[in-house]
């Protein structure tokens, strides 16, 4: 009797029958250590188009001289959709980059699939900074996943040329995929001026003004991995606070019946996670209700999450509380503590699913232990059959087993750890991990090491059993 639909996703699993699976902070006087994006953006809804100029300033902090930069042009996937007819946008989208200059000198850019390469006319040494200018034209798809437009609303997600991450493994130019969230980006500062037609407003990763309409409008946000924006003529808002944090729920008129429940859940979720894991470091979070693309129930961005209004139940429908609190937990796991979501998707999805289930258990008295037990059994069978673990890169998973392996099993792992070392210790591990890696990138190794330190014993074999199925 466990035909339960789970809609946690951020993630892509919108309507998965799990067990049938066959398979604004202010940083005063601080040296500029992060890339800074400055953009001037004009939205033309009648053309489904965004025209922009972007200036990106990158401080070169590595020891090596910087000779080039790579950018992700994710909107290109909506031009030549390769992921099946079912999820294909009804109208294609695209992004085109032109007039690329590096420190005011014209550069010869090249594009392969969704990757833009910008070679520098002159190498830039450590300690210096490089300024990259470019124009881009974004065509918004209709019915796209995440990046989408419908009626009088445009969802701008992964919508600008996003600087790829360069770390000890080199440049990360991992390709797009429709399984999970193939995004990996570094903390940056943003200053974006939006030029909007009459009646439009912006909901974004920055702290948004309370005014209904102003154009041009300049928004600033420091120390975030990404900048999402919803440009709309139709949305209404319910405002509230979780401690000092503004919690805004944005909805369309036809969603009025879920507004109270979901706004209450958003506030209590933000309170709950702040108390359990550590303070949310920005002044505001926006929850935007709506369908944001095929197969996606909810999605996380810094300071902004999306969620469908309702989820199906055995008897009908109910407000999507679990989706909202799942996506909000990502503010901690992915937003503040980052990870390479393509390489180690379990790290943010597993911790987030655990956070969601833990909230539902404590605040909504919904106990998922039985479901977790069955899911654990099922994942053991899957591993026996196909040899795929819970700690693979995104590209290894077929759609049918992704959620079970990457979301559910790691959540079950943390509940099991609570049984072994106590609830308080597990929360202490999460708090320590949050404190240690906030605004940085963490890895599976870092997580296990933090757990070992806090528990004051070697839990490596415990984690290896759960994540890698090592006996």
- Would you name the residues annotated as active-site residues? 327, 407
CB of 442 to Zn ion, least distance (A): 16
Query: Using the rule CB under 5 A, is 10 a contact of Zn ion?
Result: yes
Residues 330-349 that bind Zn ion (CB under 5 A): 349
Query: Using the rule CB under 5 A, is 75 a contact of Zn ion?
Result: no
Q: By C-beta, is 92 or 350 nearer to Zn ion? A: 350
Query: Using the rule CB under 5 A, is 325 a contact of Zn ion?
Result: no
CB of 185 to Zn ion, least distance (A): 16
CB of 65 to Zn ion, least distance (A): 38
* Residue of closest CB approach to Zn ion: 10
Q: By C-beta, is 11 or 441 nearer to Zn ion? A: 11
Q: By C-beta, is 286 or 349 nearer to Zn ion? A: 349
Q: Where does this chain touch Zn ion (CB under 5 A) — which range of 4-12, 199-207, 248-256, 305-313? A: 4-12
Q: Where does this chain touch Zn ion (CB under 5 A) — which range of 16-24, 45-53, 350-358, 386-394? A: 350-358
Query: Using the rule CB under 5 A, is 11 a contact of Zn ion?
Result: yes
**CB-based burial of residue 211 (10 Å sphere; 0-12 exposed, 13-18 middle, 19+ buried)?**
exposed
Q: Where does this chain touch Zn ion (CB under 5 A) — which range of 27-35, 123-131, 267-275, 351-359? A: 351-359
CB of 305 to Zn ion, least distance (A): 10
Q: How many residues bind Zn ion (CB under 5 A)?
A: 4
Is 326 annotated to bind a ligand? Reply is: yes
Q: In three state form, how does the secondary structure of the chain look?
A: CCCCEECCCCCCCCCEEHHHCCCCCCCCCCCCCCCEEEEEEEEEHHHCEEEEEEEEEEECCCCCCEEEEEEECHHHHHCCCCCCCCCCCCECCEEEEEEEEECCEECCCEEECCEEEEEEEEEECCCCEEEEEEEEEEECCECCCCCEEECCEEEECCCCCEECCEECCEECCCCCCCCCCCCCCCCEEEEEEEECCCCCEEEECCCCCCCCCCCCEEEEEEEECCCCEEEECCCEEEEEEECCEEEEEEECHHHHHHHHHHHHHHHHHHHHHHHHHCCCCCCEEEEEECCCCCCCCEEEECCEEEECCEEECCCCEEECHHHHHHHHHCCCECCCEECCCCCCHHHHHHHHHHHHHHHHHHHHCCCCHHHHHHHHHHHHHHHHHHCCCCCCCHHHCCHHHHHHHHHHHHHHHHHHHHHHHCHHHHHHHHHHHHHHHCCCECCHHHHHHHHHHHHCCCCHHHHHHHHHCCC
Is 349 annotated to bind a ligand? Reply is: yes
Write the binding mask 101 to 140 for Zn ion: x where contact by CB under 5 A, - elsewhere: ----------------------------------------
CB of 411 to Zn ion, least distance (A): 11
Is 29 annotated to bind a ligand? Reply is: no
Q: By C-beta, is 163 or 441 nearer to Zn ion? A: 441
Write the binding mask 361 to 400 for Zn ion: x where contact by CB under 5 A, - elsewhere: ----------------------------------------
Q: Where does this chain touch Zn ion (CB under 5 A) — which range of 2-10, 32-40, 252-260, 266-274? A: 2-10
Query: Using the rule CB under 5 A, is 255 a contact of Zn ion?
Result: no
Binding residues for Zn(2+): 326, 330, 349
Residues forming contacts to Zn ion in the complex (CB under 5 A) are 10-11, 349, 352
């Amino acid at each position: 009797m466990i035909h339960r639909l789970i809609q946690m996703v951020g993630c892509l699993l919108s309507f998965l029958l799990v067990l049938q699976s066959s398979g604004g902070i202010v940083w005063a006087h601080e040296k500029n250590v992060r890339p800074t994006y400055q953009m001037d953006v004009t939205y033309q809804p009648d053309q489904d188009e965004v025209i922009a100029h972007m200036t990106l300033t990158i401080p070169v902090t590595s020891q090596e001289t910087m000779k080039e930069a790579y950018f992700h042009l994710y909107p290109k996937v909506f031009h030549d959709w390769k992921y099946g007819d079912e999820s294909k946008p009804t109208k294609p989208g695209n992004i085109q980059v032109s007039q690329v200059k590096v420190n005011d000198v014209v550069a010869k850019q090249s594009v392969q699939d969704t990757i833009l390469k910008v070679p520098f006319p002159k190498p830039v040494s450590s300690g210096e900074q490089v300024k990259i200018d470019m124009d881009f034209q974004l065509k918004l798809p209709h019915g796209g996943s995440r990046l989408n437009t419908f009626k009088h609303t445009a969802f701008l997600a992964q919508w600008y040329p996003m600087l790829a991450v360069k770390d000890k493994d080199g440049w990360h130019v991992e390709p797009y995929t429709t399984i999970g969230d193939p995004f990996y980006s570094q903390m940056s500062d943003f200053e974006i001026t939006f030029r909007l037609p009459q009646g439009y407003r912006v909901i974004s990763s920055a702290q948004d003004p309370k005014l209904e309409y102003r154009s041009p409008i300049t928004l600033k946000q420091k120390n975030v991995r990404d900048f999402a924006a919803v440009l709309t003529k139709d949305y209404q808002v319910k405002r509230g606070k979780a401690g000092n944090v503004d919690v805004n729920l944005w909805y369309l008129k036809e969603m009025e019946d879920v507004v109270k429940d979901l706004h209450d859940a958003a506030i209590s979720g933000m309170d709950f996670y702040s108390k359990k894991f550590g303070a949310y470091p920005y002044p505001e979070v926006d929850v935007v209700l709506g369908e944001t693309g095929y197969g996606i129930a909810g999605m996380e961005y810094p300071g902004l999450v999306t969620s469908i209004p309702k989820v199906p139940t055995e008897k009908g429908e109910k407000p999507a509380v679990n989706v909202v609190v799942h996506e909000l937990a990502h503010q901690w796991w992915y937003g503040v503590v980052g990870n390479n979501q393509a390489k180690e998707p379990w790290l943010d999805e597993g911790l987030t699913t655990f956070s969601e289930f833990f909230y539902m258990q404590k605040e909504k008295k919904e106990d998922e232990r039985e479901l977790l037990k069955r899911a654990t059994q099922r994942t053991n069978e899957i591993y026996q059959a196909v040899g795929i673990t819970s700690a693979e890169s995104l590209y290894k998973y077929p759609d049918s087993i992704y959620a079970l392996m990457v979301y559910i099993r790691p959540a079950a792992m943390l509940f099991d750890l609570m049984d072994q070392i106590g609830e308080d210790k597990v929360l202490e591990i999460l708090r320590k991990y949050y404190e240690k890696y906030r605004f940085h990138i963490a890895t599976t190794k870092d997580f296990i090491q933090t757990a070992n330190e806090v528990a004051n014993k070697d839990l490596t074999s415990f984690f290896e059993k759960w994540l890698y199925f090592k006996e």
